[in-house]
Structure 1
Amino acid sequence: MALIGNTEFYKGIGEIPFEGKESDNPLAFKYYNPEQVVAGKTMRDHLRFAVAYWHTFCGVGADPFGPGTQNFPWDNFSDPLDAAKAKADAAFEFITKMGFDYFCFHDFDLVREGSTFSESEKRLSSIVDYIKEKKAASGVKLLWGTANCFSHPRYMNGAATNPDFNVLARAGGQIKLALDATMALDGENYVFWGGREGYMSLLNTDMKRELDHMGRFLATARDYARKQGFKGTFFIEPKPMEPMKHQYDFDAATVVGFLHQYGLQDDFKLNLEVNHATLASHTMQHEMEVAAAHGMLGSIDANRGDYQNGWDTDQFPNNITEVTEAMLTFLKAGGLQGGGINFDAKIRRNSTDLDDVFHAHIGGADTFARALLIADKIITSSPYNELREKRYQSFDSGKGKEYELGKLDMTDLYEIAKSNGELELQSGKQELFENIVNQYI
């Protein structure tokens, strides 16, 4: 295999092949066969896997109790642009060896932020030019870009919701540059994650004013990008809390309501994360059902939480039941609208070998591919759909149908209730549905 750059970072590892579930090769896919057709599309087209720049090439295993444990060779350059170019070389080597089609990034994942706004702009412009060359040589595409408006101390009180206008303006300048970078790299979408758009205490917070500012800010960003010719979709990524006590993009339902409140529903959809769903006390299937019901199922951050810990652990997905249930909704909704499945997940602090990141992505891809196959079998070969439809059959004809068509008023319902008398209970058959899922797994 011809390398994209001059240095091989992941030595001894070639392109990851598909070898099937009987394979014992840890560096081979067991279920993810990119060209296999499932429900009318190839797995490649259904899943659109993307590698997350921030965890895979920037996350070094640090946690609140200690520094990083992973020593990336591209971090050993003193010059920030040399380091950024080496990181890009490693990134595109990894993505092409995995056989994935996409990557995604925050602005300062690509290159270290400068000491001034102007210096940051220069650095970002330079590395974007370099990554253009990497894209052209590899065929790898950009699923989406975003801006990190939450890590720097200036954003401790938020970005678009900051009570200081000058901080809001700085965030606007930074997001303009991130939008420009995304468009320059032919990004298909753009994501907003409100990492600190929320509050630590309501005692010092004017919530309505901050929500109004966030709505205006998103509309301003949209208008700028559209004027530059950007035709992609904007995504908002819900999360209930952490780092803030409460974040304004709490969950899918909250974000849907917010988008409609501020007239953003035609341009924005949702980028849903499994671990964020868990933190909001939802399942991922719940969040996807809410988004799909409103035509806003845009993209997915693939990971999982630790079910004994109440924080965002960003582990690689391996819960086949959890992902199968999500894939049932995925297929019923007709897939994602514009987005893909990015691995917003990091290897564990005590996983320190360079091949660990391959094992993690292989396992994550196989989990989603296997879940897709199972969900398709459940839909096409089991009584699953028939049982679901049977629960609502009273709305398919007669008075139930009239109600759905808006032809009955409250008096009509009263008369029907009066004439029906007492009703027989109708079982939800929950255990049967659960058994069907387990049977096909």
Structure 2
Amino acid sequence: MVTFNEIIEIIVVSMRDAFLAVTVFVAAMVLLFSWLQYITAGRFVDTIRSNTRWQPIIGALMGITPGCGGAIVMMPMYARGYVTYGTVIATLISTLGDAAFVLIGAAVTESSFILPVIAVHLISLFVGVFWGYLVDMLKITPRNPLGKFSPNFRDELELEVLIDGKKQISREVFEDLGREEENGWRYILLHKGYTIWWIITTLGLIFAIMLLFWSAQDANFVLEIDYNPLTLHGFITWIGLIGTSLSIILYISQRNWIGDDTEASIGDKLYSMRETLIHSASETAFVTFWVMSAYLIFEFSMLFSDLDQTELASYGDGVIAVIIASLIGLIPGCGPQIIAITAYTKDIISFPALVANAISQDGDALFPLLARHRVASLWATIHTTIPALIVGVGLMLFDVSF
């Protein structure tokens, strides 16, 4: 019989661990990559526009950067005819969206995840580049989904590349991204509350690093549940609870529930360092909410089903798991993908299933493509799911795992 105390304990531990084991490390990485995008964005647009031959490679490299920002920037460029459809596919295949931060965070806290993290990123990058060039070589486009084999085939691959007027080109792309409306309680809550969130997160990062050090010093060290803030374990527990609670508040302040990055938020980040801080907090809060949700789903599944983690993991292996992981990737937004990736960090799904989801998912980048080119967004999901199934099943057949 499940008791009330068991339920409360699961909720408290999930909130605490989501913040101390994931959020604080994700926040540092999100801020780093957001800052890099902020200082390099203009040069990137000019470079990719003037190097058509290398576009799938550049697109894949942009996609492989953690988060959805790099992939989202590519969508208005495709809508303007600056990049090929193969470049879009390469970008979408290689991106892991915000789910990448969950994997990287797991690698920071547990070294056994370092190799899988590197492997899944390299596989996604290679498949993205290969599939992107293949799409362009076969002249596959949304209007010619079968490429040269399409009925009434029409070659639409050639792009007009202008090297002159680079500053104007960059400005046009960024203007396409839009800006957030500076009104409403959601906007005020996010833009006023981010400072408090960063203070708690910085404090949490310090204690998270200390926890790693204590665990390395003593293999039997366990962070106990303690509600007394005057004790060390109690203080750390409350840092985790407050941090997750603030993250939930910031998550609620967003206009999107399954995707956090929008064209407007990316546009704001590329223009202002303050907005970079604000939306880095928002993006991390989004990851926190979905990681905590994943923790709760897994823990309550085991609690109410009387299954242990090993038994639950038995359902995450095999070809069915690969297919399901690929189909989850069809869902727009990073939220469902974070749950799938978290399942791997909990040893619930296999490495082939992880790779299948990583290749299939498009993160938040599908939303701007959907708004500008519905047909392209539909075919893009199909064109990225095909290699996901092929690679996932291939890895399973060759028993590749970490």
TM over 0.5: no
Larger relative contact order (CA 8 Å, sep ≥ 6): 2
Higher strand share: 1
Higher helix share: 2
Larger radius of gyration: 1
